[in-house]
Structure 1
Amino acid sequence: MEGAMKDLINLLQELSSCPGPPGGEEPVAAIIRRHLEPSCQIQRDGLGSLIASKQGSRKQPRLMLTAHMDEVGFMLQNITEGGYLRLQPLGGWIASNLPGQRVHINGSKGAVEGIVAAVPPHFKKEQKSELKVEDLLVDVGAASKKEIASLGLQLGDLITPVSHFAIYNKKLLANKAWDDRVGCAVLVAAMKQLSSHPNTVVATATVQEEVGTRGAVTAVEVVKPQAAVVLEGAPADDFPGITKDSPQGAVGKGCQIRLFDPSTIIHRHFWQWVTELAKKNKIAHQLAVRQSGATDARPIHLAQGGIPTVVLAVPVRYAHGHSGLIHLDDFQATLKLTLAILKKLDNKILKSLLPA
């Protein structure tokens, strides 16, 4: 394996293995800061988003390159008399996927592992209503509230899935949190590789995207960009039972260029220009009109009177679960397209994209 590719895989492993649910992104921010501080000016906003600026040959336009640091997780909501833990979801989960899975509760004495309680089929009665996360319990081997306290756990502790990094069939990477640590990895790699560019690029690693794109709301006020590129780990739709038509987020088929989701109609001239740039540079890509979901593009494109914004994504199989899969080729395609945009987008091109 080439050194550069090994470095990228190590970056992907480090970021995806790191715990960082909404409100607890600091370990992720520390990794990104370590990588970008040597070449960028670093600042933080009041909610905790990390902002890294790199000026090129010109100060304008200011381009916001953004990915969110948080992953879906939980907060310790309550403790039963018998020592079980109740969960408050942070982000979107399917409750029926959780029983039997392991989690880390990040307490004052370090991470404590637990199992989401699963009723064995021997005792299972017919389920009359849909299972909710609020109905679930976590077992950490404690028998009382006192034992829970002795483990260093208390209300408000943040909880993340237990998973491990693995490589399948040479190019598929497995781990938790690809939404959006794969976007964070593209952001870090692009900023480290970026040299000659006719603009100022402001890499922005946001917080709390999974609970309502909150970090982007404050970060865009600090960055004040003229255009934005949002990097995501988008749910793949290429496995059985997901779509009856051709997939728009197939793993191994390239960077996904989003045209629409319920929160954002992507700037038409911008995505058309990006698509032509991908074709010109022979970068594998796929177009997506999403019928659900939202990204940090929602608050960004509505800020400051309107900011042209495009969303690029690496497809993720089994997103918002304990383990997902991404393809190295998609990661590289997204990185190449990101760099092509940053190296090309100047004042003249940006002006041509805006309404006359």
Structure 2
Amino acid sequence: NWMNRQPGSRFQYPYNHRRVGRVNLFADLNRGDGYLPAARKVLPPMPHPHLPLLMELSSCPGPPGGEQQLARLLQSQMEDFCDIRYDGLGSLLAEKPGLLERPRLLLCAHMDEIGFMVQSITDKGFLRLQPLGSWNTLALAASRLVIHTGKGDVPGVIPAIPPHFKKQAESQRDTDEILADLGVFSRQEVQEVGVMLGDLVTPAPRFDIFGLKVVANKAWDDRAGCAAMVLAMQHLDKKVHSATVIAAGTVQEEVGGRGATTAVEVAKPDLAIVLEGAPADDLPGLAKDEPQGALGRGCQIRLYDPTTIVNRKLWQWARDLAAGHNIPHQLAVRQSGSTDARPIHVAHGGIPTLVIATPVRYIHSPVGLLHLDDFEATVALLKIIVETLDLKTFEYLTSYKKP
């Protein structure tokens, strides 16, 4: 038991993220291991069938450049019925042939989460961290971390300056000054526990259920998208479908969409759907008008962000499918942000690309909140799309000669 380890023994990562295979045991939530103690069994009256998968994916570490463990986990979920390959950057591509070679539909969810890299070690034994992705720095103080070293995982915490020592004007942490405290007191001690420059760092996972339908953990951006992608592909395993569907778990989205840039060259799709965990805007005082990404109101169909104007026929088709099947959905015109749609939609002479997201509160911080109904709406819409897309629909969506 990791809680009862002997002083001086090696710390073991308290969540068994290395376990692979299809996740289908709800009992995982009640084992009492890792960050879900047996004494805290706050479970809904009717267990949700996808909780184990959501817990497994969101708890698995996968910072930019270190997505391999998550890739193996996703592969284990799809390799029984898909052809698996990887591109040169490490993005996973799982292809499920349809009745026809075309259209080729790419489902894309990025595997990486925002994290850090060890940039330097101070004489006093603190780590100076290089952010990988854009952090909400106000949420970092006193956050627990896991440093992933060649010898194992090492726990740490981001220092929090007590108010007694803070100047009145200090309100926001500078990302250039993010440190990690390992509970050691010299550079030599840091080296003895196995930490080196370049080691990757992620928030410590803690999966919780709030109320009856909200789940909390790190990395919903974009493990929500990864889970939806897996469930859609598993749904196709039992269906006859026209389109050939490629599921891509991309790397390094949080540092510039690099994995999608290479994965699209390998997949060569005709259409693409990017799956995301998008920032919820339903906090008090945040939205000027009606929220476009509120928890509990369904999946989000994005029409615009500063890097992508979504193909109009494509989003209208998705909207009509959602409405016709009574799937709760929200339309969003985002004034900030970017997704893997940015490199995909301008590749190969132009690829019509749709963005479907599950809203997440407190995105790009150590913990986010996801509503299970919104996630189910995302999965439901995605299943209908992959089932119904055929050559006739594809030709309509990609024709610019006809209205």
Shorter-chain TM-score tier: over 0.9
Mapped partners of 1:107, 1:134: distance in 2: 22
1:255 corresponds in structure 2 to: 299
* Pairwise CA distance, 1:64: 0.2
Return the letter of the residue paired with 1:226. D
* Pairwise CA distance, 1:128: 5.7
The within-5 A match list for 1:256-295 is 256-295=300-339
The within-5 A match list for 1:57-206 is 57-127=99-169, 130-194=172-236, 195-206=239-250
Return the letter of the residue paired with 1:345. L
SS in 2 for 1:48: coil
What residue ranges of structure 1 are gaps of 5+ in the alignment? Answer: none
Return the letter of the residue paired with 1:12. L
* Pairwise CA distance, 1:241: 2.5
Mapped partners of 1:322, 1:102: distance in 2: 8
Which of 22, 29, 39 is residue 64 of structure 2 equivalent to?
22
Mapped partners of 2:165, 2:215: distance in 1: 37
* Pairwise CA distance, 1:334: 0.4
Which of 272, 286, 289 is residue 228 of structure 1 equivalent to?
272
Which of 53, 73, 76 is residue 11 of structure 1 equivalent to?
53
Stretch moving more, 113-122 or 42-51:
113-122
Q: Deviations over 1:148-182 (max 9, x none)?
A: 00010000000001131011112101100000001
Mapped partners of 1:129, 1:289: distance in 2: 30
Given the superposition, is the C-alpha separation of residues 130 and 119 from structure 1 closer, same or farther in structure 2, using an over 3 Å criterion? closer
SS in 2 for 1:186: helix
Percentage identity across paired residues of the two chains: 55
Mapped partners of 1:53, 1:281: distance in 2: 27
* Pairwise CA distance, 1:127: 3.4
Q: Does residue 1:45 correspond to 2:99, yes or no? A: no
Q: What CA RMSD, in Å, does the superposition of the two structures yield over aligned residues?
A: 1.6
Higher relative contact order (CA 8 A, sep 6+): 1
Return the letter of the residue paired with 1:239. L
Return the letter of the residue paired with 2:95. S
Q: TM-score, normalised by structure 2?
A: 0.86
* Pairwise CA distance, 1:126: 3.0
Q: TM-score, normalised by structure 1?
A: 0.97
Mapped partners of 1:243, 1:44: distance in 2: 40
1:298 corresponds in structure 2 to: 342
Mapped partners of 1:304, 1:260: distance in 2: 21
* Pairwise CA distance, 1:350: 1.2
Mapped partners of 2:151, 2:249: distance in 1: 28
Mapped partners of 1:71, 1:239: distance in 2: 23
Q: Does residue 1:212 correspond to 2:256, yes or no? A: yes
4+ runs deviating over 6 angstroms: 2-5
Stretch moving more, 100-109 or 11-20:
100-109
2:379 corresponds in structure 1 to: 335
Mapped partners of 2:222, 2:47: distance in 1: 20
Mapped partners of 2:199, 2:355: distance in 1: 32
Q: Could you tell me whether the CA contact under 8 Å between 2:129 and 2:178 is conserved in 1?
A: yes
Return the letter of the residue paired with 1:141. G
SS in 1 for 2:348: helix
* Pairwise CA distance, 1:130: 4.8
SS in 1 for 2:165: coil
Stretch moving more, 115-124 or 75-84:
115-124
* Pairwise CA distance, 1:263: 0.6
* Pairwise CA distance, 1:129: 8.0
Mapped partners of 1:196, 1:287: distance in 2: 30
Given the superposition, is the C-alpha separation of residues 209 and 5 from structure 1 closer, same or farther in structure 2, using an over 3 Å criterion? farther
Mapped partners of 1:120, 1:129: distance in 2: 12
* Pairwise CA distance, 1:5: 6.4
2:22 corresponds in structure 1 to: none
Return the letter of the residue paired with 2:203. P
SS in 1 for 2:50: helix
Mapped partners of 1:307, 1:5: distance in 2: 39
Given the superposition, is the C-alpha separation of residues 102 and 214 from structure 1 closer, same or farther in structure 2, using an over 3 Å criterion? same
Given the superposition, is the C-alpha separation of residues 303 and 46 from structure 1 closer, same or farther in structure 2, using an over 3 Å criterion? same
Which of 74, 81, 88 is residue 32 of structure 1 equivalent to?
74
